[in-house]
Amino acid sequence: MIYRRLGRSGLKLSALSFGAWINFGTRIGLAEAREMIALAYDHGVNFFDNAEVYARGEAERIMGQALADLRLPRDAYLVSSKVFWGAVENPRPTQHGLSRKHIVEACEQALRRLQVEYLDLYFCHRHDPETPIEEVVVTMDLLVRQGKVLYWGTSEWPPEKLEEACRFAARNGLFGPQMEQPQYNLIHRERVERDYAPLVAAYGLGLTTWSPLASGLLTGKYNEGVPEGSRLTLPGYGWLERWVFGEAREKRLEGVRRFVAIAQEAGVEPAVLAIAWCLRHPAVSSVILGASRIEQLRANLAVIDRLEAIPEALYLEAERIFADGG
């Protein structure tokens, strides 16, 4: 495994991490989660990502029990949660958003579900236009000083709001955002490469990126249609199919077919090439993997051993295919 600092902090994350989104609590139960976390840990993964909204808290409960069952040393791994949408269906006004009340209570609930005394990383899952930035920063600073959170950051925040938070924290001697968690893959590049680049340089933010395979699209699994049993067929996830394919479905699929072809011609699995490409970005502290089967996870973890064998020309050719966003 390769380890990278979280931005300018002294914290080192495994370059590949393992996340619970969509799978834990929907397609993966406790036994499977335990096996997959053990595999990831044995391969050097030290960061396990989660959120209050994933399966309405069930993803955190499963991950917490799996970690407890495995009896991994607490000082050897990192666990995260995210706050914004809440963990209940049809939340009341104080059960979602980024008010001080919800941030604090969501943190306490995540600690109980994950069975830990502190969160290594705590993300504001989206920007809340109804809560002042000052309130968010002061509340996160409080949690850090209480020892309930070690590092806090944001996920998919508008860059101008993230900069406002960084500036307010610096101006007032508070613990500011240390990381951002954006989507980043060959198809979705602008936010990382254009929008966040100045903030990474100015404030030393680390990026823990998600969806390196664009929800499986870059593996080629959807080239001939959506197979039964894939995440795009899960009840309640119709929005995900629209999001994955975008407005120009056939154009995006044609790009993916070309990407799969050049990978196969070079003797590289498309998933390996897609994940390896994400790891090339110097601001990426960790690429979060998701998997519904242990075979998937094992194959994706093998990317680390393949990095030196992938020629630069192949990366550049892949970039050209999706130069206009696919």
3 state SS for the chain: CCEEECCCCCCEEECEEEECCCCECCCECHHHHHHHHHHHHHCCCCEEECCCCHHHHHHHHHHHHHHHHHCCCHHHCEEEEEECCCCCCCCCHHHCCCCHHHHHHHHHHHHHHHCCCCEEEEEECCCCCCCCHHHHHHHHHHHHHHCCEEEEEECCCCHHHHHHHHHHHHHHCCCCCCEECCECCCCCCHHHHHHCHHHHHHHCCEEEEECCCCCCHHHCCCCCCCCCCCHHHCCCCHHHHHHHHCCCHHHHHHHHHHHHHHHHHCCCCHHHHHHHHHHCCCCEEEEEECCCCHHHHHHHHCHHHHHHHCCHHHHHHHHHHCCCCC
Residue with tokens 């300018």, as numbered in its chain: 8
Q: 9-66: per-residue pLDDT in tens?
A: 999 999 999 999 999 999 999 999 999 999 999 999 999 999 999 999 999 999 999 9
Look at the pTM and tell me if it is higher than 0.75: yes
Q: How far apart, in whole angstroms, are the C-alpha atoms of residue 269 and residue 286?
A: 20
Q: For residue 305, how far is the Cα from the chain centroid?
A: 22
Q: 176-191: per-residue pLDDT in tens?
A: 999 999 999 999 999 9
Q: How far apart, in whole angstroms, are the C-alpha atoms of residue 17 and residue 174?
A: 28
The pLDDT value recorded for residue 234 is 74
Over 90: is that where the pLDDT of 323 sits? no
Q: CA-CA distances (angstroms) from residue 216 to 66, 169, 201, 222?
A: 25, 38, 31, 8
Q: Within 13 Å of residue 315, how many CA atoms lie on the same side as its CB?
A: 14
Top-confidence residue, 218 or 240: 218
Work out the number of other CB atoms within 10 angstroms of the CB of residue 317: 17
Task: Walk me through the domains of the chain, giving residue ranges and CATH numbers.
Answer: 3-213+278-310 (3.20.20.100)
Q: Which of 128, 209, 185 is nearest to 162 (CA)?
A: 128
The pLDDT value recorded for residue 250 is 87
Q: Which of 61, 75, 72 is nearest to 20 (CA)?
A: 61
Catalytic site residues?
Answer: 54
- Mean residue pLDDT across the chain: 95
Beta bridge pairs of residue 79: 48
Contact 291, 36 (CB under 8 A): yes
Q: How far apart, in whole angstroms, are the C-alpha atoms of residue 275 and residue 261?
A: 16
Please tell me the least confidently modeled range out of 162-166, 226-230, 287-291, 298-302.
Answer: 226-230
Q: 78-131: per-residue pLDDT in tens?
A: 999 999 999 999 999 999 999 999 999 999 999 999 999 999 999 999 999 999
Q: 231-247: per-residue pLDDT in tens?
A: 776 777 676 777 788 87
